[in-house]
Structure 1
Amino acid sequence: MHYDAESRTLPHNPFKALVAPRPIGWVSALGAGGQLNLSPYSFFNGVADNPEMVAFSSFGRKDAMTFAEEGGEFVCSFATLALKDAMNQTSAPLPRGESEFGFAGLATAPSRKVRPPRVAESPAAIECKWLQTIPMVPLGGGEATYFLVIGQVVSLYIDDRFVTPQGRVDTGAMRPIMRGGYFDYFAVDPESRFEMRRPAGGGDVPRS
């Protein structure tokens, strides 16, 4: 079958079910007045590694985006199976300036190189300096409803329990959760991990 917005051959749009599972950027940011926001974004990913950059997409100019712009910084905490309910609570539409940390019963932990705190209960966090926000104007023009927020990574936090004796991060042991379509989420099974090397000349070069 083929699906598009005009044909509506399915009762529910399958787009998010196909661009899945998606990592969750659990973004904390401080506004110019010191207001603290924490929100989960499933349109999130790493977009470069030299220098390292991440991006998340906001539907409308929500607090995480505007605070990241005002403060020039944001943090992406790692969303895990153990924290799924708290993560979901932080998506509630609270009044501007009311902290989702308190609402979801989460503690803050100081970051190393940026002012916004990370989620203390999370096993990892990515500290970022805001680079730019790009309005995503659709085909044919018109007003953008989504905005791509890009940040450069300045520091990483990893709970020592998830660093192997070989100095590698055991991502699977953290039990990350990822977003699917509809109301679906996925939990990573640590036993599902496998390794592959690229073909010769394919750019499989280890980075320090």
Structure 2
Amino acid sequence: MAALIEAIEIKRKMFFEFEDTPYHCLDVEVSTPTARGGQTLVRLKMRNLLTRAVFDKTFKAGDKFKEPDLTMNPASYLYSDGEGHHFMDQETYETLTLNDEMVDHALDYLLEGMIVQIQKFNDNPIGLQMPQHVELTVTYTEPGSRGDTASGNVTKPAKLETGLEVKVPLFIKEGEKVKVSTETGEFAGRA
């Protein structure tokens, strides 16, 4: 039996199960009443891990939640087609197929063979977690011109091998590998 978590114990970035659905806590606000006998309320900003919907809900401090049966399994990206996006579980070697909602914006960073973490709820894939940074090759960028620095514009657009466009410093050339943040989609340095 999974352990029970009281609403007052839930912190940011925790996972919990509510109405047989896994949730991720994005923010917590506790309101303690000043009147005697008033109940402490916990307002949670939470993301439904199955539908990706985000909403606020208020609970009593003593409300209990189960810990969800969530696991993270390493998997390598194989390919995408009309049926979905295919990954190979690195432990069981089975092929896992995720739909567009599960993959979300990660396609901007995925290359064939890249290892990601597949999130499973009750052994069914529900989403994926990308590494914090990925290394991608610049396929096209304008040559930087010396005069650009005077105007304060010290970046230029660059197209990466996945099709993603990011702003890079003037010294970056075609064919170079760059590190890109998967959270912000911004240039994070040379690879």
Sort the TM-score into its range (normalised by shorter chain).
under 0.3
Whose relative contact order is higher, 1 or 2, with alpha carbons under 8 Å and at least 6 apart? 1
Q: Which has the higher helix share?
A: 1
Rg larger in 1 or in 2?
2
TM-score (norm 2): 0.22
Q: Which has the higher strand share?
A: 2
